[in-house]
Structure 1
Amino acid sequence: MNKKTLLSALLAICFAADQAFAQAPAVELPGFAAYADPVEENVEISESNGVIHWTGNSNTVNFYFHVANPGTLKIALLAKADAESKVKVAINGIDKIVIIPNNNDFANIPVLQTTIKKAGFYYVSLKGVEKKGNVYADVKAVSLSGTAVKDIQYNAKPWRRAASVHLNYPVPEGKNVEWFYGEIKVPEGEDKLGTYFMSCGFHRGYFGMQVNSPTERRIIFSVWDAGGEPEERSKVKYEDQVVMLAKGDSVDASGFGGEGTGGHSHWVYNWKAGNTYRFLMHSVPTGNTTTYTAYFYVPEHKEWKLIASFRAPKDGKYMGHLYSFLENFSFENGHLGRKGYFGNHWIKTNTGEWIELTKAKFSNDATAKAKDRLDYGGGAENGWFYLWNSGFKPANAQYGDQFERPATGTPPVIELPKF
């Protein structure tokens, strides 16, 4: 082959490669799905406007995604600023400082190209470097193109919570569940803000513990109304409303809406990661109603505390569909991993028989089913079931998976306070 022919061949190969790259699919990671680290301060992740009000540079703004097919990846920003600024963009171990122009409209700003060598989770990280105006940038999206975009997964919705995951406990056929007992242990560091660790759930309600703020934690017990109203309790007929019959000292109780409606109760209690906490539910059917009562064991006092007792209309049966769950209910830190252990669950039937629940079926919510998030899982280890979500790591469980823990064979000893 002469030099002219060789040169023509090389040019043809380069042209074909450029054409293939240019025709490769492109996606936009929306600004409203980003997360700020370590906290969402001096920046706002707006559902309608993406990354806005970015005034500080003590944090980074991160866009997460999952690559299924390794290959070439080009990064660009759809951004603008009120005055020229500089932002550092990092991905896959490389970074580049780019200039964000003063512009009223979002500009497509090419950043860098990298090669993704293996499948997995990645993120584009933005950090403010220099600004002449009020903000480093408003960011509408991060644009990804190249061969690595094929079958890429990312969250295209403003719903920034992690996927909720559940453990469903089968009950032997023909057994009436009058009592439902369970325990929770949260490892240190896994007690992130905006997390609900729920121990004793059933067909009309749920009972567990939450991290509500840096200074407040709660024991939560709620029971749903009848009727199926999704949002406003004021629209629920009186005969369909749950009625509070009793509540413990210092327990707050009220109605709730927004995720169905019903009766809510909570006790502010500073539970601690690393400790084991005990939960107990009781059900008493009468006619077409059932009274559900929740007790929490307070280790500092060495006694069971009444949280609340609700009468649920249009029910009239013992507890069914027993389950536990792990939920991230805050948007700002939906990227942070959390994990909880759930175990030693028992039921006591209306005939006084204790039955240990050693099997669980894994399930997840609409966020997981839609593949908006892929980072969740569960299983059994060290004698406990466990659930985890977020952290952008590969799932280790799928809907319908069956778990089993070893039986202890020793039912709980429970001495309730006398009223």
Structure 2
Amino acid sequence: MIRYQLKALAAICCMIISHTTLAQSTQITIPGFTAYAAPQEEGVNINERRGVAGWTDAANTVNFYFYVSNPGNLKVILQAKADGISKVKATLNGVDKTISVPAVADFVTIPVLETKIKKTGFYSLSLKGLERSGKVYADIQGVSLTGTATKDIQFNAKSWRRSASVHLNYPVPDNKNVEWFYGEIKVPEGEDKLGTYFMSCGFHRGYFGMQVNGPSERRIIFSVWDAGGEPESRDKVKYEDQVTLLAKGDSVHASGFGGEGTGGHSHWVYNWKAGQTYRFLMHSVPQGTTTTYSAYFYVPEHNEWKLIASFRAPKDGKYMGHLYSFLENFYFENGQLYRKGYFGNHWIKTNAGEWIELTKAKFSNDATAKAKDRLDFGGGSENGWFYLWNGGFIPANAKYGDVFERPATGKHPEIDLPKF
């Protein structure tokens, strides 16, 4: 009887151990459409419908990123195919393996490598094409991971490949009407990545800053939202809810916009440079139920302020509120890259003529960060400036609601606007 009970107990223990091991070794799959190509997405196409496809360029690596919360064993399996037999080198955690991708019509499972993860943190599986007998090195549907290191592992499972947007929110003393809002931006050399928006002077109806729009094009951008809350198409916005362009500067382009709310957009193509400091100035004039918002940019080469545009916003009638700055990555293709910008010397001038320096900022982030799709973002204060950063797959150094403070300069900006 005792022997039978011991055998039963041993069987139960084995079942428990087996179940625990199984629970710790859950297989997770990172979709192919979440990958990034380096140094750039050329000679390979990554999209939600096909995953990684058309990979023909040996100069590119295809990379999958994830965060390990619990060190342990990790086994990597690839779902891939090719139109001719090819060889691909896989690298993870210092381990290199060369694998063969067969010429098949449907995706097959290919064991890649095994490794032991010893530390928590971000890791990447990097794939490099070595040889191909067909047109492509591989089409990749996904990467599966098994092992104890998959417990609480984090990765972005969505096709939204931009890094998280981050913001600085500037508190304003109660009962102060913000007629003027001044701020500065300095982008460190090398941080002016394609598809980045450094926004200096945001408020409850719009935003004003500078972008990297292409290899040879940069812009100063100012936009104001319509009333009504239409999310996509400006054609659906009633005329009485649309902002109206009142004036724009020389060579400034102005139009309506949609897709992220709707409104009036303006931009000036200007080759701003990393390492230099740029100055931004917003003005608000409420009248009845409307407010006119005007944006000015200081052009250092000309030593003067330039009007970007003036828009009249309906269903408003207030001075500027909810003052903020932000850093945004708006390209999917390079959302893995680290970006950083400095934001500082923000001041307001009230309708009574009082200058007030804004030396505190509250940190916030977007839905991508809130959903924990991306964990690589942050901000803070250093060298007299606030700063924001995102991307790079390095751990966050700030959380939603953190308050930063910079030292006061005590000297408000001297502004001599052009006379019209």
Assess same fold via TM > 0.5: yes
Which residue does the alignment assign to 1:221? Answer: 222
Which residue does the alignment assign to 1:377? Answer: 378
Tell me the distance in 1 between the aligned counterparts of 2:22 and 2:130.
31
Tell me the distance in 1 between the aligned counterparts of 2:52 and 2:230.
34
DSSP-derived class of the 1:65 partner:
strand
Which residue does the alignment assign to 2:30? Answer: 29
DSSP-derived class of the 1:148 partner:
helix
Amino acid aligned to 1:104: A
Tell me the distance in 1 between the aligned counterparts of 2:21 and 2:382.
48
Deviations 1:322-359 (A, max 9, x none): 00000000000000000000000000000000000000
TM-score by length of 1: 0.95
DSSP-derived class of the 2:397 partner:
coil
Q: Structure 1 residue 20: deviation in Å? A: 2.8
Which residue does the alignment assign to 1:332? Answer: 333
Tell me the distance in 2 between the aligned counterparts of 1:17 and 1:55.
44
Q: Structure 1 residue 17: deviation in Å? A: 8.3
Is the Cα–Cα contact under 8 Å of residues 198 and 211 in structure 2 kept in the other structure?
A: yes
Tell me the distance in 2 between the aligned counterparts of 1:22 and 1:80.
30
Aligned alpha-carbon RMSD (Å): 1.5
Is the Cα–Cα contact under 8 Å of residues 280 and 296 in structure 1 kept in the other structure?
A: yes
Amino acid aligned to 2:326: F
Tell me the distance in 2 between the aligned counterparts of 1:276 and 1:293.
21
DSSP-derived class of the 2:40 partner:
coil
Amino acid aligned to 1:48: R
Tell me the distance in 2 between the aligned counterparts of 1:82 and 1:39.
23
Which residue does the alignment assign to 1:159? Answer: 160
Q: Do structure 1's residue 69 and structure 2's residue 62 form an aligned pair?
A: no
Amino acid aligned to 1:242: V
Task: Give 1:50-65 correspondences, 5 Å limit.
Answer: 50-65=51-66
Which residue does the alignment assign to 1:269? Answer: 270
Aligned residues: 407
Tell me the distance in 1 between the aligned counterparts of 2:256 and 2:366.
24
Is the Cα–Cα contact under 8 Å of residues 24 and 151 in structure 2 kept in the other structure?
A: no
Q: Structure 1 residue 148: deviation in Å? A: 0.2
Q: Structure 1 residue 47: deviation in Å? A: 1.4
Tell me the distance in 2 between the aligned counterparts of 1:203 and 1:336.
29
Which residue does the alignment assign to 2:125? Answer: 124
DSSP-derived class of the 2:240 partner:
helix
Q: Structure 1 residue 30: deviation in Å? A: 0.8
DSSP-derived class of the 2:162 partner:
coil
Q: 1:157 to 1:345 in 2, by over 3 A?
A: same
Amino acid aligned to 1:26: Q
Q: Structure 1 residue 100: deviation in Å? A: 0.6
The 10-residue stretch of structure 1 (221-230 or 22-31) with the greater mean CA deviation from structure 2: 22-31
Task: Give 1:273-312 correspondences, 5 Å limit.
Answer: 273-312=274-313
Q: Structure 1 residue 403: deviation in Å? A: 0.4
Q: Structure 1 residue 21: deviation in Å? A: 6.2
For structure 1, the residue ranges without an aligned partner over 5 or more in a row are 1-11
Which residue does the alignment assign to 2:190? Answer: 189
Q: Do structure 1's residue 393 and structure 2's residue 403 form an aligned pair?
A: no
Is the Cα–Cα contact under 8 Å of residues 30 and 141 in structure 1 kept in the other structure?
A: yes
Amino acid aligned to 2:265: H
Amino acid aligned to 2:86: S
Deviations 1:294-330 (A, max 9, x none): 0000000000000000000000000000000000000
Which residue does the alignment assign to 2:174? Answer: 173
Tell me the distance in 1 between the aligned counterparts of 2:57 and 2:353.
61
TM-score by length of 2: 0.95
Task: Give 1:40-55 correspondences, 5 Å limit.
Answer: 40-55=41-56
For structure 2, the residue ranges without an aligned partner over 5 or more in a row are 1-12
Tell me the distance in 1 between the aligned counterparts of 2:143 and 2:18.
24
Which residue does the alignment assign to 1:4? Answer: none
DSSP-derived class of the 1:368 partner:
helix
DSSP-derived class of the 2:369 partner:
helix
Q: Do structure 1's residue 95 and structure 2's residue 96 form an aligned pair?
A: yes
Which residue does the alignment assign to 2:317? Answer: 316
Tell me the distance in 1 between the aligned counterparts of 2:65 and 2:114.
17
Which residue does the alignment assign to 1:208? Answer: 209
Tell me the distance in 2 between the aligned counterparts of 1:400 and 1:391.
22
Q: Percent identity?
A: 77
Tell me the distance in 2 between the aligned counterparts of 1:23 and 1:318.
56
Amino acid aligned to 1:53: G
DSSP-derived class of the 2:231 partner:
coil
Tell me the distance in 2 between the aligned counterparts of 1:368 and 1:86.
36
Q: Do structure 1's residue 139 and structure 2's residue 140 form an aligned pair?
A: yes
Tell me the distance in 2 between the aligned counterparts of 1:67 and 1:297.
46
Amino acid aligned to 1:330: Y
Tell me the distance in 1 between the aligned counterparts of 2:24 and 2:107.
23
Q: Structure 1 residue 49: deviation in Å? A: 1.1
Tell me the distance in 2 between the aligned counterparts of 1:315 and 1:22.
56
Q: Structure 1 residue 50: deviation in Å? A: 0.4
Deviations 1:223-281 (A, max 9, x none): 00000000000110000000000000000000000000000000000000000000000
Amino acid aligned to 1:231: E
Which residue does the alignment assign to 2:6? Answer: none
Q: Do structure 1's residue 407 and structure 2's residue 408 form an aligned pair?
A: yes
Is the Cα–Cα contact under 8 Å of residues 22 and 146 in structure 1 kept in the other structure?
A: no
Tell me the distance in 2 between the aligned counterparts of 1:377 and 1:194.
18
Tell me the distance in 1 between the aligned counterparts of 2:170 and 2:20.
55
DSSP-derived class of the 1:239 partner:
helix
Amino acid aligned to 1:43: V
Is the Cα–Cα contact under 8 Å of residues 230 and 259 in structure 1 kept in the other structure?
A: yes
Which residue does the alignment assign to 2:418? Answer: 417
Q: Structure 1 residue 102: deviation in Å? A: 1.1
Tell me the distance in 1 between the aligned counterparts of 2:379 and 2:28.
31
Amino acid aligned to 2:278: Y
Q: Structure 1 residue 83: deviation in Å? A: 1.3
Deviations 1:69-101 (A, max 9, x none): 000000010001111111111100011111111
Tell me the distance in 2 between the aligned counterparts of 1:254 and 1:228.
18
